[in-house]
Amino acid sequence: MQEEHRHWADGVAEELLKRTGKQVLETGTSISGIPHIGNASDVIRADAIRKTLDGKAAEVELIWVADDSDPFRKVPRGMESLKDYLGFPVKDIPDPYGCHKNFVEHFVSKFVTELADYGVKPTIYSGTELYRSRALNEEIKIALEKSKDIVAILNKFRTTPLPEDHIPWTPICAGCGRISTAKAYERNGTKVKYVCKTTKVTGGEAEGCGFEGEADALKGMGKMPWRVEWAARWHHFKVTCEPLGKEHAAAGGSFWTSIEVSKEIFGWEPPLPVIYEFFTLNGEKISSSRGNVITLSEWESICEPEVLKFLMYKRLNKQRDINLSTIPVLVDEYDEAERFFFGTGDLNEDAVKAKRSYELSQVGDARFLQVPFTLCTTLSQIVPDLDIERISKKLAALGYKSFDHEMLERRLTLSKNWVDSFGPENLKFKLLADEDSSKEYAKLDVKQKEALEKLYGELNANYTPEQFHKRIYETARGIGLKPDMLFEAIYKVFIGKSKGPKAASFILTLDKDFVEKRFAIHP
């Protein structure tokens, strides 16, 4: 494959294979609230690399670390009951809903299950358990022994320098259990003295209890600073690749700091970065605290998981907005890539990459559908019980004769959910009863009624939707009626609205005797 036609995942895989041995792809998520599709983006993208390496018979492992030793800095919307836990490690705060052992287990268990539904099954680690099981003790010893060297590296990236005797370890206060408030001030080997002081955090103040104590870092009740911890994990897991959002890769960002710590302190060649732009949701930043989120399972209730993966597998260095009201546009693009995958012939650069994104996005084997999402929204409202036999017959009449029935059933359900929750008003409808249709028909002018009757006479011609769409225009113009007036008449007698779904497909999916009642036999 020519380099300019190469998908980014193939390029990353080729670069990684220059580094011999096992490939370890690390991803992680801060568990500060409901894990959402933004949190999932790095692990889903990493899985594309894993799949590519696996296809090249490389030894590869994808890992995901829950960053659950981080302090609880801000109370997410709807979880105000947790306001007294600011400053605690998130692993040590209760489940606000009372159904799991703690806050982290509530959200992580669901997130991991959701990832599996998307075909993504990393090896799961808890950042807290890495410390408390003493798995990172080698790295902790190194960091404390080389604390002055670490401070020198960190200060290269800081506007306010850390003091030379800064200790790269924050204990958990034995008095109150908070981590944000424990201030280390003296170290003797791996033992750290600290005092618990009230500290400002993003969401307010974490109240210190005044306790003074000493903690042995090798017992794991605390953590290293993030920029050191990240490098420590690379060394511990022998990480070779890490996808990350561009905010971490900005000039002076945590990734570049951790690169130096990895090389100079832990002696590990840093992983290859895969840097991507972030998503917005409905034009705004995705944020748990603001309540502007959609989870993987919520997405899966309105659209196929493969479609979201396809979006994530497109060009990485472009910011994209996920507008839930325009899901059909994204699905149409995915369906086009499906045609590339199952089709033949020459493909241009964009088509080659789209085909590869489609292939990588599949959960299981790829299956052919090619029934448009918007058409499914129409069918799901015409046949609200989603009777697959009736719907299949209607699709056959429209020329759709070869498709995967199981995939169709899924798309019908998803499109029905989507149109109910996010669809624009012109796509939402309910077929009028005969009496109500007659009332709407009576309001039409003579030309509109004449056009409807002529259009009904065309129904035996076995038009495709495209041909019938053209015929609607021709019918209107043939009697001197503006086409918009005919479209309005169609929608009025069927659904009582001035606008609706694509008229040609809509009419052709209806039974002819039903159409006749609306077009031809009114008094």
Please give the full DSSP string across 461-523, using - where no structure is assigned. G---HHHHHHHHHHHHHHTT--HHHHHHHHHHHHHSSS--S-HHHHHHTS-HHHHHHHHT---
Query: Do 467 and 513 reside in the same domain of the chain?
Result: yes
Task: Tell me if 518 sits within 8 A of 437, measured CB to CB.
Answer: yes
Query: Do 14 and 92 reside in the same domain of the chain?
Result: yes
Q: Does residue 288 fall inside a structural domain? A: no
Q: Does residue 10 fall inside a structural domain? A: yes
Q: In what order do the strands lie in the sheet with 272-276?
A: 123-126, 60-67, 23-30, 241-245, 272-276
The DSSP output letter for 172 is P
Give CA–CA dist 438/445, Å, rounded. Answer: 13
Query: Do 20 and 34 reside in the same domain of the chain?
Result: yes
Q: Does residue 13 fall inside a structural domain? A: yes
Residue-number span of the structural domain to which 423 is assigned: 373-427
Give CA–CA dist 202/143, Å, rounded. Answer: 27
Last residue in a domain, options 185, 202, 223? 223
Last residue in a domain, options 427, 446, 471? 427
Query: Do 384 and 496 reside in the same domain of the chain?
Result: no
What pLDDT digit, counting tens, does each position of 290-299 carry? Answer: 778 899 999 9
Residue found by looking up tokens 């009332």 in the block: 439
Q: How far is CA 251 from CA 30, 160, 264, 437, in A?
A: 22, 16, 19, 64
Q: How far is CA 440 from CA 11, 343, 430, 508, 523, in A?
A: 60, 46, 14, 21, 12
The DSSP bridge partners found for residue 216 are 191
The DSSP output letter for 426 is G
Q: Does residue 359 fall inside a structural domain? A: no
Residue 102 makes CB contacts below 8 A (sequence gap 6+) with 91, 92, 93, 94, 95
Query: Do 119 and 260 reside in the same domain of the chain?
Result: yes
Helix (H, G, I), strand (E, B) or coil at 273: strand
Give the long-range contacts of residues 289-294, CB within 8 A, separation 24 or more: 289/33, 289/74, 289/75, 289/76, 289/77, 289/203, 290/77, 291/77, 291/78, 293/33, 293/34, 293/36, 293/37, 293/38, 294/36, 294/37, 294/322, 294/324
Query: Do 233 and 215 reside in the same domain of the chain?
Result: no
What pLDDT digit, counting tens, does each position of 81-124 carry? Answer: 999 999 999 999 999 999 999 999 999 999 999 999 999 999 99
Q: Does residue 20 fall inside a structural domain? A: yes
pLDDT of res. 1: 47
Task: Tell me if 357 sits within 8 A of 310, measured CB to CB.
Answer: yes
Q: For residue 101, what is the domain's CATH number?
A: 3.40.50.620
Give the CA radius of gyration of the chain: 29
Report, as ranges of residue numbers, the positions in the chain whose pLDDT lies below 70. Answer: 1-4, 344-346, 521-523
Structure tokens at 185: 């001030």
What pLDDT digit, counting tens, does each position of 458-488 carry? Answer: 888 888 999 999 999 999 999 999 999 999 9
Query: Do 108 and 256 reside in the same domain of the chain?
Result: yes
Q: Does residue 347 fall inside a structural domain? A: no
Query: Do 90 and 229 reside in the same domain of the chain?
Result: yes
Q: For residue 504, what is the domain's CATH number?
A: 1.10.10.350
Structural domains counted in the chain: 4
Query: Do 117 and 217 reside in the same domain of the chain?
Result: no
Q: Does residue 215 fall inside a structural domain? A: yes
Amino acid at 510: L
Structure tokens at 118: 């998307």
Query: Do 131 and 273 reside in the same domain of the chain?
Result: yes
Give CA–CA dist 380/509, Å, rounded. Answer: 11
Q: Does residue 325 fall inside a structural domain? A: no
The DSSP bridge partners found for residue 187 are 192
Helix (H, G, I), strand (E, B) or coil at 193: strand
Query: Do 99 and 197 reside in the same domain of the chain?
Result: no
pLDDT of res. 257: 96
**First CA to last CA across the chain, in angstroms?**
66
Query: Do 66 and 174 reside in the same domain of the chain?
Result: no
